[in-house]
Amino acid sequence: MSASQTARQRARAELTREIKQEARRQLAHDGPQGLSLRAVARELGMASSAIYRYFPSRDDLLTALIIEAYNSLGERAEQAVAARPRAGVRDRWAACCDAVRGWALQNPHEYALIYGSPVPGYQAPQETVPPASRVAIVIGGLLSESWAARGEDAGDNPGPARSPALPPPLDQQAAVIAAAIAPEVPGPMVARGLIAFVQLFGMISFELFGQFVGGADPADSFFRFTVGEMAEFVGL
Amino acid sequence: MSASQTARQRARAELTREIKQEARRQLAHDGPQGLSLRAVARELGMASSAIYRYFPSRDDLLTALIIEAYNSLGERAEQAVAARPRAGVRDRWAACCDAVRGWALQNPHEYALIYGSPVPGYQAPQETVPPASRVAIVIGGLLSESWAARGEDAGDNPGPARSPALPPPLDQQAAVIAAAIAPEVPGPMVARGLIAFVQLFGMISFELFGQFVGGADPADSFFRFTVGEMAEFVGL
DNA sequence: TGTACATCAGTGAACGCGCGTTCACTGATGTAC
DNA sequence: TGTACATCAGTGAACGCGCGTTCACTGATGTAC
């Protein structure tokens, strides 16, 4: 039964994949706004109306691409950290940053889709939230681990101790973030972790969107340097 | 003669302004990709072909908008700093950051136009470079001033001294940047200044593009905190 | 100050193209007995 | 194992809309004498 079901279902799964793949190709040429169901259908050799058997509208296809992009990126970050269980927190932080940047350089248009300008008229549904959180969760885990291991090398890492207590409402926001992804970690360290997080994506956006041209381009060296500086800044 | 010339010329200048203004309005609804000469003409009550007397193509109109956006932002940053000649460097750094963010919040679509995803198929011409550099020049000036005044409060600002020498090719890139906008300032401080610069725009992009939602949103408090942390980090 | 000519703004029709979505339909695949 | 029926993938035409750009043109504004 499950095998015979699969005859049709497998064809459906396959075509769904092909549609998304072709859509990703179009993203690269025309951006999210240029994503066209008709063009996808044309490229796949089917009637434009047939796409509607797979995605009820253009926006649903866009949502599927966004979720896939977040998951693909999140998975890369998770694997980069998980692959180095014996490495220190700083090394895993660096590996995570490299993984995120590597993914972005390999998939610049999907990066732009999720971290670039919002698509006019498109509202991301709630289902995108969990995939979108995966990288933050990875980094939160590193913060937690680093905090839990404090004292062992406290001399090297005065880190967050330099920061005064957070002003409201940032203190509350940091507490909420900590509760979600880095329990036990004190507010100032969470806030600095958020700064490092913003720095990571800020750098990648600058690099991909061409703001470094004539300055820190190629950006490899600056990226590596900054990742190290941020590790120290956060107190990892 | 110059007054009679102006009769026609003034009309031309006026309409040019109106076209750009209407184009900016459209940017807000449909993004750069949705910018349509026909729609601009329609809204202005003129034939679509008439626009071509003012802008030879859609991309030229886009270029004009980009240059205006960079100039508008750059001017705001310059004024924020110039308006506080007696303030300390840190206060002027903060004023500059506030000005940039304030402009971005007031002009989110123009911000996205210059710091968001690149417009597919559009290549920014060289004329956009000088306007695009204005904020960096302001910040470079603050670095220079701070460095020149070193020693006076050196106790508070170990700053860049903590950083080791820069690895190549970052050392060279930093030297080029320093030569352009912050002469005399040593490489590590330039690199940290660049980090702060990236942080500033990274934060604003996160805020405007919705990445803070559910975390540090509203972002005022986090922004203020980060601007202070960055001042210390750079050693201002 | 007045006239003849050149410049330029703006028109409206046309070219050739694109899009998302709906709908009635054909024909193949899957299911229940 | 075979038949009757339901499900579903895919078609092709249509609706109503949009776009950038070109071109021959009219008529007003500006200039040189």
**How many Cα neighbours within 13 Å face the side chain of B41?**
14
How many CB atoms sit inside 10 A of residue B210's CB? 13
Q: Which residue has the higher pLDDT, B162 or A182?
A: A182
Distance A37 CA to C21 C1' (A): 10
Residue A162's pLDDT band, with cuts at 50, 70 and 90, is low
Judged by a CB distance cut-off of 8 A, whether residue A82 touches chain B is no
Residue A1's pLDDT band, with cuts at 50, 70 and 90, is very low
Task: Assess contact for B38 and B61: CB atoms under 8 A.
Answer: no
Residue A214 burial by Cβ neighbours in a 10 Å radius (0-12, 13-18, 19+):
middle
Residue pLDDT, tens place only, B83-130: 999 999 999 999 999 999 999 999 999 999 999 999 999 999 999 999
Residues of B in contact with A221 (CB under 8 A): 167-170, 173
Residue B42's pLDDT band, with cuts at 50, 70 and 90, is very high
C chain positions with any atom within 7 Å of a protein CB: 8-14, 18-24, 29-31
Distance A52 CA to D2 C1' (A): 35
Residues of B in contact with A219 (CB under 8 A): none
Judged by a CB distance cut-off of 8 A, whether residue B154 touches chain A is no
- Shortest CA distance from B163: residue in chain A: A229
3-state class (DSSP) for residue A105 = helix
Q: Mind giving me the DSSP string for A127-174? A: GGHHHHTHHHHHHHHHHHHHHHTTTTTTTT--GGGGSPPPPTTHHHHH
Contact between the CB of A57 and strand C at under 7 Å: yes
Which amino acid makes up residue A16? T
Proportion of chain A above pLDDT 90, given as a percent? 86
Contact between the CB of B12 and strand C at under 7 Å: yes
Say if the Cβ atoms of B211 and A115 lie within 8 Å.
Answer: yes
Q: Is the pLDDT of residue A3 over 60?
A: no
Residues of A in contact with B163 (CB under 8 A): 229
**Looking at the C1' of nucleotide D29, which residue has the nearest alpha carbon?**
B8
Q: Is the pLDDT of residue A18 over 50?
A: yes
Say if the Cβ atoms of A199 and B201 lie within 8 Å.
Answer: no
Which nucleotide is closest to A47, CA to C1'? Answer: D11
Judged by a CB distance cut-off of 8 A, whether residue B172 touches chain A is no
How many angstroms away from the CA of A216 is the closest CA of chain B? 6
Distance B2 CA to D32 C1' (A): 16
Judged by a CB distance cut-off of 8 A, whether residue A225 touches chain B is yes
Distance A53 CA to D5 C1' (A): 22
Judged by a CB distance cut-off of 8 A, whether residue A226 touches chain B is yes
Query: What is the Rg, in whole angstroms, of the alpha carbon atoms belonging to chain A?
Result: 21
Residue pLDDT, tens place only, A103-118: 999 999 999 999 999 9
Which residues of A in 5-44 have their CB below 7 Å from strand C's atoms? 5-9, 35-39, 42
Q: Is the pLDDT of residue B4 over 50?
A: no
Q: Is the pLDDT of residue A149 over 60?
A: yes
Write the CB contacts of B127 (distance below 8 Å, at least 6 apart in sequence): B63, B67
Q: Distance between CA atoms of A140 and A190, rounded to whole angstroms?
A: 8
D chain positions with any atom within 7 Å of a protein CB: 8-14, 18-24, 29-31
Nearest to A134 by CA among A175, A80, A199, A77: A77
Contact between the CB of A59 and strand C at under 7 Å: yes
Which nucleotide is closest to A8, CA to C1'? Answer: C29
Residue pLDDT, tens place only, B58-89: 999 999 999 999 999 999 999 999 999 999 99
Judged by a CB distance cut-off of 8 A, whether residue A72 touches chain B is no
Proportion of chain B above pLDDT 90, given as a percent? 86
Torsion angle of alpha carbons A184, A185, A187, A189, nearest 10°? Answer: 170
Structure token pair of residue A73: 């990126």
